[in-house]
Amino acid sequence: QVQLVESGGGLVQPGGSLRLSCTASGILFRIYAMAWYRQAPGKQRELVASITTVRNTNYADSVKGRFTMSRDNAENTVYLQMNSLKPEDTAVYYCGAGRSAVDYWGKGTLVTVSS
């Protein structure tokens, strides 16, 4: 079975940093584009960042300059380094994998930015 497992969420103060990880199994990881989405209560799920098989990245305007996505194909893992966190970054963060669209989703990890 295909599994995407996120980790690294938690409570952090505004201005702080967190690094999220997503480890995949059951897919040929290196041929999949990967993405991070987030969803806050009462809001739609939104794309935060994506990375292609050749490590091209794209970011939502709201996180550009603060978040960095990377991948380690040897470990079947993608990361989201989140710096200068703001309360509005509070959400459940989900990992997705796909060839031309998201085919598989993780269960999410909660990030809470609060003082």
Supply the DSSP string of 37-51, one letter for each residue. EEE-TTS--EEEEEE
Written as six digits, the tokens of 90 are 């509070």
The pLDDT of residue 113 is 98
| Per-residue confidence (pLDDT) for residue 37, from 0 to 100 | 98
Whole-angstrom distance, CA of residue 99 vs CA of residue 41: 28
pLDDT in tens, 61-96: 999 999 999 999 999 999 999 999 999 999 999 999
- Percent of the chain at pLDDT > 90 equals 100
Q: What is the pLDDT of residues 30-67, one digit of tens each?
A: 999 999 999 999 999 999 999 999 999 999 999 999 99
